[in-house]
Amino acid sequence: MHLNIFLSFEDEREARENVKREQDEAYRLSLEADRAKREAHEREMAEQFRLEQIRKEQEEEREAIRLSLEQALPPEPKEENAEPVSKLRIRTPSGEFLERRFLASNKLQIVFDFVASKGFPWDEFKLLSTFPRRDLLEKVWLPRPADMCVVA
């Protein structure tokens, strides 16, 4: 009888130890999963921060270039000028129009700089004539539009 009671206590103790081991293992796995989630979240936040910093730097660089171009533009000529003047009307992707007068002797780069100073970098737009509709740079063999003139 004492042996049965002893074995019963031993079985209960062993069962309690098994339950405790299982609980400890489950707790350890839970902590590990929480740590992995936290590390993944921290990595994601760090990557988002890094990408946001890159975006801000690019935006600041674009704005600095835009301001530089705006300040470098020659003053807009008056309509009554000794030199021939062309008035250009440039449609933006939003449908708005940019208008400005240019001297016929101005290089086409000044037109590009004007458009870029309004937030449209010159490598992101085309300069088209309305009639006949054609890309003014399509058949030009120059690497940049800096050496072309606006024709009145």
∠ Cα 83 115 56 (to 5°):
150
The strand ranges marked E within 23-147 are 85-91, 97-103, 128-130, 133-135
Q: What is the pLDDT of residue 67?
A: 93
Q: Cβ contacts of residue 20 below 8 Å, gap of 6+? A: none
List the one residue out of 15, 127, 117 whose CA is nearest residue 23. Answer: 15
Beta bridge partners of 65: none
pLDDT in tens, the chain (152 residues): 666 776 688 888 899 999 999 999 999 999 999 999 999 999 999 999 999 999 999 999 989 999 999 999 999 998 887 888 888 888 888 888 889 999 888 888 898 899 889 988 777 777 777 777 777 666 544 444 444 444 43
Q: Strand 128-130 vs strand 133-135: parallel, antiparallel, or unpaired?
A: antiparallel
CA atoms within 13 A on the CB side of 98: 17
Identify the architecture of domain 85-147 in CATH: Roll (3.10)
Could you say which DSSP state residue 78 is in? P
Element (H, E) at 46: helix 2-72
Contact 148, 107 (CB under 8 A): yes
Q: What is the pLDDT of residue 8?
A: 80
* Domain limits, the chain: 1-71, 85-147
Q: What is the pLDDT of residue 71?
A: 92
Q: Angle of helix 108-117 relative to helix 2-72, nearest 10 degrees? A: 140
Q: What is the pLDDT of residue 6?
A: 66
